[in-house]
Structure 1
Amino acid sequence: MAMAWLAGSLLLTGCASESVFRPSAASTANRQDIPFNVSGRISVNMDGKGSVGQFDWAHRATDDLLSVNSPLGSTVARLQRDASGVSLQADGKTWQAADVESLTQEVLGWTLPLGNLVWWIRGLPAPDEPYRFADDGSLTQQGWTIRFVSDADVPSPYPKRVDMQRDRLTLRLLPQNWH
């Protein structure tokens, strides 16, 4: 029942007055890796199989801590990146690798582009990587198509929703609390 409610609430976010999020010219020109803490909701759909939950993410230039939680708030997975590499804890097990992308591909069967997500969650293209903005405002970078959505009635420096698609994988992030 809680999963159906959360899935419905994710779909309902599209009913508000939305527009394409466009970062300010200054933020695009001065892309800097700034620390942040953000929490919100996440949905993942791979080959027609989906799941929803919540996330808490603390980002620093040298480390990340990303927790994915069930709709009821219990931690399902915890990803930690620092100078020594990356670890993923889930289902009572721990996996380690040199980088997030190879670890998530090995364990989850799909790649979480955490390095670029640092930028994309803020509505920016990742620096030092080729990118293209389409006429509809979507960003194409490193094989991903990213759509940034804002609330037309509430100005914000960040998108209210980030939709990402690559191959058979779709990720949707709804950042709600920036610290």
Structure 2
Amino acid sequence: MPRFRLWLILPLAAMLAACTTIQVEPLPEGMTDQPPADWADKSEQLRQFDHWQLVGKLAIRQPSDSGTALINHWIQNGDQYNLALSSSFLGMGSTRLQGTPGFIELTLPDGDTYRSGDPESLLEAATGWQLPLNQLVWWIRGLPAPGDDFRLLFDANQQLAIIRQSGWEIRYDRWQRFLNSHPSLPAKITALKDGKRVRLVISDWQDLGTAQ
């Protein structure tokens, strides 16, 4: 009987030991996943900052091609966006994107207009660019997009350095105090996924909510 019990106990002990061995992904050097004390307040301020305009530059590199575009303006009002891009890449010229998370209207330089309930697919079909439009509106403010799991990493200065979400790694290369009434905002962002790289350099932010 004791030997029989031993044969039962040994596999059980081994199984419990395996269950308690958790593989933890090492953090990049100098970073922590513990948010600073003011993160809850700062992130709430950024969420409420939902009527704005920015200008800057967009650069995309992907396995099939690459290119750059000027962001003549990106106006965001809640869920509604209005982007005006200009680029010689693939003959894009002046291209306008207007819509919401579930709808896009894309106007090409020749005046042709296309509409779709799948913004990212339409943009890729028209320009060849793969952009996570629905999430960029959050990432560009330094926030994870709602609805998907994410991980936040902070640097030694207690500043958000990386968001990992939906297979993308969003790196915040530079922050800047564009508006006195708001926390620092991203000035340079690099988003990476499966050989794709999207880089945004923002030269100016405006708060349209307080400008009215």
Asked if 2 retains the 8 angstrom alpha-carbon contact of 1:100 and 1:112, the reply is no
Q: Does 1:124 align with 2:143?
A: yes
Alignment identity in percent?
28
Q: Please give the alpha-carbon distance, in whole angstroms, between the structure 2 residues aligned to 1:128 and 1:158.
A: 23
Asked if 2 retains the 8 angstrom alpha-carbon contact of 1:132 and 1:141, the reply is yes
Counterpart selection for 1:46 from 51, 62, 74? 62
Q: Does 1:169 align with 2:186?
A: no
Counterpart selection for 1:80 from 85, 89, 98? 98
What residue ranges of structure 2 are gaps of 5+ in the alignment? 1-30, 156-160, 179-183, 207-212
Match for 1:37: what amino acid?
A: Q
Asked if 2 retains the 8 angstrom alpha-carbon contact of 1:131 and 1:140, the reply is yes
Counterpart selection for 2:171 from 147, 154, 160? 147
Q: CA deviation at 1:76?
A: 2.5
Q: Please give the alpha-carbon distance, in whole angstroms, between the structure 1 residues aligned to 2:136 and 2:59.
A: 15
Match of 1:60 in 2: 77
Q: Judging changes above 3 Å, is the alpha-carbon distance between structure 1 residues 113 and 51 closer, same or farther for their aligned structure 2 residues?
A: same
Secondary structure at 2:186's aligned position in 1? coil
Q: Judging changes above 3 Å, is the alpha-carbon distance between structure 1 residues 140 and 84 closer, same or farther for their aligned structure 2 residues?
A: closer
Larger proportion of helix:
2
The alignment of Structure 1 onto Structure 2 pairs a total of residues equal to: 155
Q: Which runs of 4+ in 1 moved over 6 A?
A: none
Match for 2:43: what amino acid?
A: T
What residue ranges of structure 1 are gaps of 5+ in the alignment? 1-19
Structure showing greater radius of gyration is 2
Match for 2:42: what amino acid?
A: S
CA RMSD of the aligned region, Å?
3.0
